[in-house]
Structure 1
């Protein structure tokens, strides 16, 4: 069952309801849960167990640059959108930059997710490091921005090499305290028969860059998720 808003927003609504109507918080929580189609708040909470995005969000820090990598169809785009949707839990503005999807594509992905946070979606063909940093500096709230995706960030001839763009994004994240998550492809040579998740060595690199520019990496395959520091 889809929630009309993320858990943290529903809790905020319940606190407002308890204050406005002078009722106990647990009663307000139960009323909100009933409006969402659940028997009680405990029923809602148990049905909305934290997913991979919640775990990843808890491990992110200001200035981090995160790599989110997987083969096609493994859920990296949905995870990226969940991270952007969950930015509010960190007191941040969620932004999703994509060079791969149309706004309609993004909306279809969002419709598959439980709840809707406030998110900025940018599908401009001009997306590159300079464009991204310019957009983020205009926000009045620190950002958690997801960039989709790494291997086409330098597809236009007039944009700098990928390595230079990643260095610029890293510098911005550190200076502004932003959190940047970069969606990435995994090379076709990755063999899932090895019984392992992909790793840094499996990242597809049509143009070379230093993986050490990333602070953390999240790899997905066949329903498994591994998050850790790079290096």
Structure 2
């Protein structure tokens, strides 16, 4: 069943209804779900979350969320981040890639390989590649963006590799404050520490994030961990 609007816009509509009609948010969400042909919001949400992982993640992201996409090299975290951007564009959102790793040509080629159709939707992802990428640089490019805009940063651990930039913890705090003010969603591709042992647990978790420099991981709302073809999306307490 096709929704009348992307799920993030339906959530925003429910919040507005709850505020204007002075009803609990869960009641407003259920009313929106009924308008879309579902008995309650949980059924709408689960139906929309039954697609590919990137679509599931997108459906569960709220305005202003900070997301970690974490895994060891070669386990799909970058591909997942790029697919998330393609799905965001397809859902009517604006999408940005900020990469300290790819050239613009490499990023464009990788995005096009993932789009799965012929309408060149990947070309609508805005690609920013520069050694100057930092919190302030990202914010300057996202200034004026609508709530629900999705930006993926490639990647967390290199944001402060240039010593002229603020320390990583300060940059993440600055970006988190910006996301809360504007409703922009920020996804950070992240490395997993080499100490992660798949013999002791199937998937890495928040304790396995590689942190050469301190970051308060409580600033992130959600995290998706990948390993050997498996993935788990979870809220960060």
With normalisation by structure 1, the TM-score equals 0.75
Structure 2 equivalent of residue 37 of structure 1: none
Structure 1 equivalent of residue 187 of structure 2: 181
Shift of 1:160: 0.5
Structure 2 equivalent of residue 16 of structure 1: none
With normalisation by structure 2, the TM-score equals 0.73
Structure 1 equivalent of residue 93 of structure 2: 92
Residue in structure 2 matching 1:214, options 220, 229, 232 = 220
CA contact (8 A) 2:134 2:159 kept: yes
Structure 1 equivalent of residue 177 of structure 2: 171
CA contact (8 A) 2:147 2:184 kept: no
Q: How far, CA to CA, are the matches of 1:130 and 1:95 in structure 2? A: 15
Question: Equivalences for 1:7-26 in 2 at 5 Å?
Answer: none
Q: How far, CA to CA, are the matches of 2:227 and 2:97 in structure 1? A: 22
CA 173–90 in structure 1, closer or farther in 2 if over 3 Å, else same: farther
Residue in structure 2 matching 1:153, options 136, 148, 159 = 159
For residue 77 of structure 1, give the secondary structure of its aligned residue in structure 2: helix
CA contact (8 A) 1:70 1:221 kept: yes
Stretches of structure 1 that go unaligned for 5 or more consecutive residues are: 1-6, 9-48
CA contact (8 A) 1:86 1:94 kept: no
Shift of 1:141: 6.9
Shift of 1:178: 0.6
Q: How far, CA to CA, are the matches of 1:108 and 1:92 in structure 2? A: 21
CA contact (8 A) 1:65 1:216 kept: yes
For residue 194 of structure 1, give the secondary structure of its aligned residue in structure 2: coil
RMSD: 1.9
1:117-155 Cα offsets, whole Å, 9 max, x none, are 420011111100000011001446752000000000001
For residue 220 of structure 1, give the secondary structure of its aligned residue in structure 2: strand
CA 50–142 in structure 1, closer or farther in 2 if over 3 Å, else same: closer
Q: How many residues end up aligned between the 2 structures? A: 185
